[in-house]
Each structure stands twice: as C-alpha cells, then as structure tokens.
Amino acid sequence: MQSRSLTDLRSASTIVGMEDLEQYNGDEIRDFVAARLEKILDSFSILNVGHITKFEEPINRKLGITEALAAFAARPGSSSLPVEGEHGVIGLIERKELAKKRTTLMAVTDPPVDRFLDGTAFSIDASENCEKAMSLVLGRGPEKLYDDFMIFENGRFFGIGTFADLSRNIAEIRNVDLDKARKMQEFLMTRNSIKSAGIRAENYVRMAHEVGGDYLQCMDINDGLSLLSCFDVCGKGTAAALLTSILSSFFATLKIGGSLHALSPLSILNALNAVVMDQTPEEIFIAGAMVFIDRAHGEATFFNCGMPPLYAFYSDEESGKTKGKIVNPGLWPLGINEFAEPRGSAFPISKNFRLFMHSDGLTEARNERGERYGEEKLRKFLYPRCMKRAEAILADLDQELSGFVASAPQADDITVLVAEIS
C-alpha cells in the first residue's frame, strides 16, 4: 500500500480518538488507527451496520484524477474511496465512474476529483440494524442500487459499506438464527421421552429447511398411560416452526403444573384443540395423530386429526401371522372447531405390536420426474418390514427415500415415528 499523508489519515485518527497528529509519524498513526479501528468494529454486533464497515483512508478533494486512479490501483479491492473536504468526508468517488470519465485531455489537465464527486452518496449510521439498512438501500433508484454507501458513527465518517457485504452479513445473521432455531426445535422434540418399560419409539426427521412445522411428542402421562404423537402445522418454514412451540408449551405446562397425570386421553385432546383454537390465527390449523398406550388395560387408542393413515401391525395369537390395521383420519385437524363427540379407535395391544405414523411430507415427496411417492409405495415398502426393529425400518426408509427422490428438491418436512409395544 502506498504511503498516505497525515492529511489523508486525519479522518481515521479522529474516529479512533487520536486528535494530536504532530507528535507521530505516518507509520505510527497508521498502526494505531488499524488497531483501534479493529477494536471499534468488534464492538458492533453482527446485527449492526458497523459490523460490516470497511475503513478507507480518504483522499483530498483537490487530488488530481491521475493520483486518484493511482490510489485505486494501490487498493485493488476498493470499489470506491471517500473524499475529504475542509470539514471531513463530503462524498464518495467510484472507481468505475472515474475510469469511465477519464479522457486523453484529462490526462494532460489532470482535474481534481471533486469534479467527479458523488455528492449524493447514501449514508447509514453504524448502529443501524442491518435488516433495516437493507430496506433503505433497496429504496434507492435502480441505477444506484449497488453503489457503495458511507457509514457514519456519532456524526463522523466511519467507513464504507457495500451492497455485497451487507447482503452477506444479513445471510449470516439468518443462518445463525436458523441454526439456533433448529437446535431449539430438536431440543424440544427430545425434551420428553417415554421411560416406561415395554415401549420403544424411534423417529426419523428430514426437514425441508433448517426449521419446519412437523413436531413429535412422546411422553408418559402417568404410570399406566403413555402418549405417542406426531403433528404437522399448516404452512412451512419459520412461521410453522414457531407454532410448534405451542404444542411443546401445552404438554410442558400440564406436566410441570402437576395436572397431566390425572387427565384422560379425551380431555387431553379437547384441551389441546382449545389451546390451538385460542392461540393461533383463524386460518391456522394443526394436523395431529395421537396414540395413547394404556398398559393397565392393554389397549391403544388412536385419534387421527387430519393426518395421513396410521398403521398398526401385530402377530395374530392363533395363526401367528402378521396382521395390520389402518386408521384413517376421523377428526378435523386441531384448531378448526370444537369436537362434538370425539371418538378414537381402540385396539388391544397384541403380541409384537408395531405402530407407524408419518407426516404427509413422506407420501408427498417427489422424484426428479415430479412423481409422488404416495401411499401405495409406502405400503409396499412397509408391509414386508413391519416386524423389523424400529431403527432398521427407519434405516431402510432413509435409503428408500434417498433413492426415490435422488436430486429432486424437498418441498415439505418428512417426519416418521415407529414404535414397538409389548
């Protein structure tokens, strides 16, 4: 980098609190400025525009166009440079514009750069939120959209921001937020588990995005009753994921409040439906499959509220053959209306009882030709494997889906629950 004059460094030294320049040489000022600027930048959150600031030593407004182009040549990564007047930075000069306007005559006359200064250069405060800053940048005319902008801090020039850096930073912010949301959603889905003997549950979750609207809840209600459930919030992405927290909060509140153990399956279903109706907009609903395992009576009660068919398999005690039952949706999804007389489907828990439930993302998965996986393919896959261990079924399913979908994009979340009950 070419040496800069003390005048060129005056803006930087003012920013970092080094007002008396006379007792320092250029290198000392430059080192001090660099260290202080790095510390100042680190003080800004990733959410603030100050985080993306790139400091450029200003050039004097009287500098000739030839020297200005030389300054750009010495800074190959810079698309613009700040121009300093008598009272601080007065605008930016763009590399592309300067090179475009230079003529043979100008090479002889060498006019000052302030003749080509963009006095209308856009400026944003360093403490501004990046998302809001982007909306301000996008509000500029299309011819100015990708131009650099000035960043000020406490009313003084602080540095330069670029459209690309701002975009990358916003993407990073969203990635960080989504990663935290994904970890939180995973945590909530594993927060409760069934500890009672005789029930083994395994799940398979393949989200279309970092977070999604599918949710699993497996928990003991009391010493003799357990719940296996799968939910699918209408919609996708962050909004749907946010609504799954209602489900988690509902069960956690009942559990911590001490009232869960005294509730019947029907009262839990009705209470959850009432909460969803009260806590979501009118157009929102949640499909859900809830299976209550009553070990005291050796019975499983199914409530299918708008979910795809549920599958139950068992060994016939007389013939020893494997048999199955399909429980189609018999109730409205949660959050639409009060249930008048909700009735579940009750089955005795026979030998080698297996349960398979899934969200519609499984059967709605499409391959590269746009063909749906569908219920028929699922049954052909499931029936020969239904008596395998749960983890083996899910391992085979992952291989089956990966082969079917191949490189086709995943449009919806896929969630599967397999349980072995004895």
What is the full per-residue pLDDT of the chain (422 aa) written as tens digits? 333 344 444 444 444 454 554 555 556 656 655 666 666 667 788 999 999 988 888 888 888 888 888 888 888 888 889 898 888 888 888 888 887 776 655 656 788 888 877 666 688 999 999 999 999 999 888 888 888 999 988 888 888 999 999 999 999 998 888 888 888 877 877 776 788 778 999 999 998 888 788 999 999 999 899 999 999 998 777 778 888 888 999 999 999 999 999 999 999 999 999 999 999 888 889 999 999 999 889 999 999 999 999 999 999 877 888 999 999 998 999 999 998 888 889 999 988 999 999 999 999 999 999 999 999 999 999 999 999 999 999 999 999 999 999 999 998 899 999 999 98
Listed in sequence order, the residues at least 6 apart from 345 whose beta carbon sits closer than 8 Å to its beta carbon are 301, 302, 304, 327, 330
- Which pTM does this prediction carry? 0.73
Contact 199, 226 (CB under 8 A): yes
In the chain, the domains with their CATH numbers are 10-171 (3.10.580.10), 192-421 (3.60.40.10)
